[in-house]
Amino acid sequence: MKPTDVPSIQHSARQVAIQVVTNILLQQGSLSTQLARHQHDVASEHIPLLKELCFGVCRQYPLLNSIALHLLNHPFEEKDMDLYAALLIGLYQLGYMNTPDHAAVNETVEACRLLNKDWATKLINAVLRRYQREADDIIEALEAMPSVEYNQPKWLVKRFKKHWPEQLEQIIEASNTHPPMCIRINESQVSRETYKIQLAEQGIESQDGVLSPSALYLRSAVRVNELPDFDDGFSSVQDESAQLAAHILAPEIGERVLDACAAPGGKTGHLLEFAAAKENAEQTLDLTAVELEPWRLEKIEANLERIGLMANLQCADAGDLDAWWDGIQFDKILLDVPCSATGVIRRNPDIKINRKPAEIDELTSIQKNIVDQVWKTLKPGGYLLYATCSLMPEENEQQVAAFLATHDDAIEKPLNSLNSELDISLGLPVSHGHQLFPTVKGNDGFYYCLIQKVIA
Ligand SMILES: C[S@@+](CC[C@H](N)C(=O)[O-])C[C@H]1O[C@@H](n2cnc3c(N)ncnc32)[C@H](O)[C@@H]1O
């Protein structure tokens, strides 16, 4: 089935959620892309409900999918994926929301009519009513399935168990929760202590991050326009692990720096802020940011405009040097490669639906090509920080091991080599680099390894 676009604004949150979830089930794009495209099809006051339905269904998908398949005699065909999306949303409402049960059932049945699939109303009604009556028994019957026990795809549970048996519980628990709201303080404008006071004056309670000196966790999430001087770039929403990149690379004014896979520009902005804060200067860093996707490059532009700092933006494949590189080598490179995002499932819960094991192999070969090429743009004596938000060793320590084995001019360095103030006890030191695991109330899962190009 082709995804049909919702034709006009002011559809109900449920109708638009059905559209978004259908497109995700049909692998038509990520949750964030789909929401960006469709959220304006509902009135603004219904956007939170739309998000709750879509994020909720993705977050609970392994469980909801098992329940739905258990209750249906035959799975729906691809052309009826919209009905399946409606059913999952109905089950989510019954299981996780305060919607009265009869309303959840009736509205889902009505949704089938709006989809012009009246033939399915009886079936959907019967399935939801049975779940309503027998929920506990059904869940008990399914509990032994790994996808239900862990609420994660079976293949992913298998990999987590294999690679991280000791951290399994933590990974699963953190990956299934809502992430906390973490902000980065722009230290070139204001100190963390002062900003914390400003937040408190507005009734927003916050707590220092433990890994990144620029991180504050908010006790409850707020809209960004409630954050003091947000429009002037005094703070940005960014996970604490992600904030470590700039603290590890510690760029200085006068250095030529590359951010090779840059969008949406969270780390680009931080690299610029970091240098400006240290030098307290009017000048900014000589920073080149490369991004493959034009629409994502626009996000970097918007981010930099808000914080009032500048970079040389290039829309290109970072691995295709002819397309963007002027031949002058860089002092420092941040390589935050595209990855499986298995450390940030809680922020991208559609991974539970769409990510396939074969993609890990594809991603590792994309990463290999980018790092091999970008390495040529680094000065002898310069540093490259390899980063992912993945928990898969193939994308992380094994990728670095293969790189070091084939590059005589590369040596691994401790993560605090460029910044002695950085606490080195980050996550778990692995064979190469450090693996950070997601924590329920704190940081996302991440991986960092710092590599220096030796002077011949
Ligand atoms: C993990 S995200 C980067 C996040 C970013 N560093 C930040 O902190 O906001 C990876 C980015 O790399 C981009 N990308 C993928 N392949 C690329 C390539 N060959 N060259 C450049 N960018 C690429 C993706 O579009 C995506 O925006």
Distance 63 CA to ligand 1 centre (A): 31
Q: List, in sequence order, every beta strand (DSSP E) within 199-345.
A: 206-208, 215-218, 235-237, 256-259, 286-291, 312-315, 330-336
C-beta of 370 in contact with ligand 1 (< 6 A) = yes
User: Whole-angstrom Cα distance, residue 202 to residue 150?
Assistant: 39
CATH of the domain at 382: 3.40.50.150
User: Whole-angstrom Cα distance, residue 275 to residue 259?
Assistant: 14
Annotated binding site for S-adenosyl-L-methionine: 261-267, 291, 317, 336
CATH of the domain at 186: 3.30.70.1170
Annotated binding site: 261-267, 291, 317, 336
Q: On the CB side of 360, how many CA atoms lie within 13 Å of its CA? A: 18
Residue 136 CB-density burial (10 A; 0-12 exposed, 13-18 middle, 19+ buried): exposed
6 located within any domain: no
**Tens-digit pLDDT string for the chain (456 aa):** 434 444 444 579 999 999 999 999 999 989 999 999 999 999 989 999 999 999 999 999 999 999 999 999 899 999 999 999 999 999 999 999 988 999 999 999 999 999 999 999 999 999 999 999 999 999 999 999 988 999 999 999 999 999 999 999 999 999 999 999 999 999 999 999 999 999 999 999 999 999 999 999 999 999 999 999 999 999 999 999 999 999 999 999 999 999 999 999 999 999 999 999 986 666 779 999 999 999 999 999 999 999 999 999 999 999 999 999 999 999 999 999 999 999 999 999 999 999 999 999 999 999 999 999 999 999 999 999 999 999 999 999 999 999 999 999 999 999 999 999 998 788 999 999 999 999 999 999 999 999 999 987
Whether residues 230 and 317 share a domain: the answer is: no
What stretch of H or E contains 47? helix 47-59
Whether residues 327 and 245 share a domain: the answer is: yes
204 located within any domain: yes
Whether residues 263 and 315 share a domain: the answer is: yes
Residue 287 contacts residue 331 (beta carbons within 8 Å): no
347 located within any domain: yes
The number of folded domains in the chain is 3
4 located within any domain: no
C-beta of 289 in contact with ligand 1 (< 6 A) = no
Question: Radius of gyration (Cα) for the chain, nearest Å?
Answer: 23
Question: Looking at 125, 149, 173, which one is the last position of a domain?
Answer: 149
Q: In this predicted structure, what is the pLDDT of residue 425?
A: 83
Query: Which ligand 1 atom is at minimum distance from the Cα of 388?
Result: 1
210 located within any domain: yes
Q: Six-digit token pair at 304?
A: 């930099």
Best residue among 239, 241, 261 to mutate for probing ligand 1, ranked by most atoms within 8 Å of CB: 261
Whether residues 248 and 228 share a domain: the answer is: no
Whether residues 408 and 338 share a domain: the answer is: yes
Neighbour-count burial for 169-208, b at 16+ CB within 10 Å, e otherwise = eebbebbbeebbbbbbbbbbbbebeebbebbeeeebebee
C-beta of 271 in contact with ligand 1 (< 6 A) = no
3-state secondary structure the chain: CCCCCCCCCCCCHHHHHHHHHHHHHCCCCCHHHHHHHHHHHCCHHHHHHHHHHHHHHHHCHHHHHHHHHHHCCCCCCHHHHHHHHHHHHHHHHHHHCCCCHHHHHHHHHHHHHHCCCHHHHHHHHHHHHHHHHHHHHHHHHHCCCHHHHHCCCHHHHHHHHHHCCCCHHHHHHHHCCCCCEEEEECCCCCCHHHHHHHHHHCCCCEEECCCCCCEEEECCCCCHHHCCCHHHCCEEECCHHHHHHHHHHCCCCCCEEEECCCCCCHHHHHHHHHHHHHHCCCCCCEEEEEECCHHHHHHHHHHHHHHCCCCEEEECCCCCHHHHCCCCCEEEEEEECCCCCCCCCCCCCCHHHHCCHHHHHHHHHHHHHHHHHHHCCEEEEEEEEEEECCCCCCCCHHHHHHHHHHCCCEEEECCCCCCCCCCCCCCEECCCCEEECCCCCCCCCEEEEEEEECCC
Q: Which of 343, 303, 334, 330 is nearest to 435 (CA)?
A: 343
Query: Which ligand 1 atom is at minimum distance from the Cα of 387?
Result: 1
Residues 76, 80, 81, 85: is their CA dihedral positive or negative? Answer: negative
CATH of the domain at 20: 1.10.940.10
- Find the domain containing 277 and state its range: 240-453
User: Whole-angstrom Cα distance, residue 319 to residue 371?
Assistant: 8
339 is catalytic: no
Residue 1 contacts residue 79 (beta carbons within 8 Å): yes
Question: Looking at 98, 129, 149, which one is the last position of a domain?
Answer: 149
163 located within any domain: no
158 located within any domain: no
Q: In this predicted structure, what is the pLDDT of residue 282?
A: 66
Whether residues 370 and 249 share a domain: the answer is: yes
18 located within any domain: yes
Whether residues 227 and 263 share a domain: the answer is: no
Query: Which ligand 1 atom is at minimum distance from the Cα of 290?
Result: 21
C-beta of 267 in contact with ligand 1 (< 6 A) = yes
- Of the candidates 112, 182, 315, 389, the residue annotated as catalytic is 389
Whether residues 112 and 68 share a domain: the answer is: yes
Q: Which of 32, 231, 69, 54 is nearest to 147 (CA)?
A: 69
Q: In this predicted structure, what is the pLDDT of residue 10?
A: 55
Whether residues 101 and 129 share a domain: the answer is: yes
Distance 290 CA to ligand 1 centre (A): 8
C-beta of 250 in contact with ligand 1 (< 6 A) = no
Residue 353 contacts residue 84 (beta carbons within 8 Å): no
Q: Which residues contact 200 (CB under 8 A, 6 or more apart)?
A: 206
Whether residues 248 and 201 share a domain: the answer is: no
Whether residues 306 and 378 share a domain: the answer is: yes
User: Whole-angstrom Cα distance, residue 69 to residue 129?
Assistant: 15
Whether residues 207 and 140 share a domain: the answer is: no
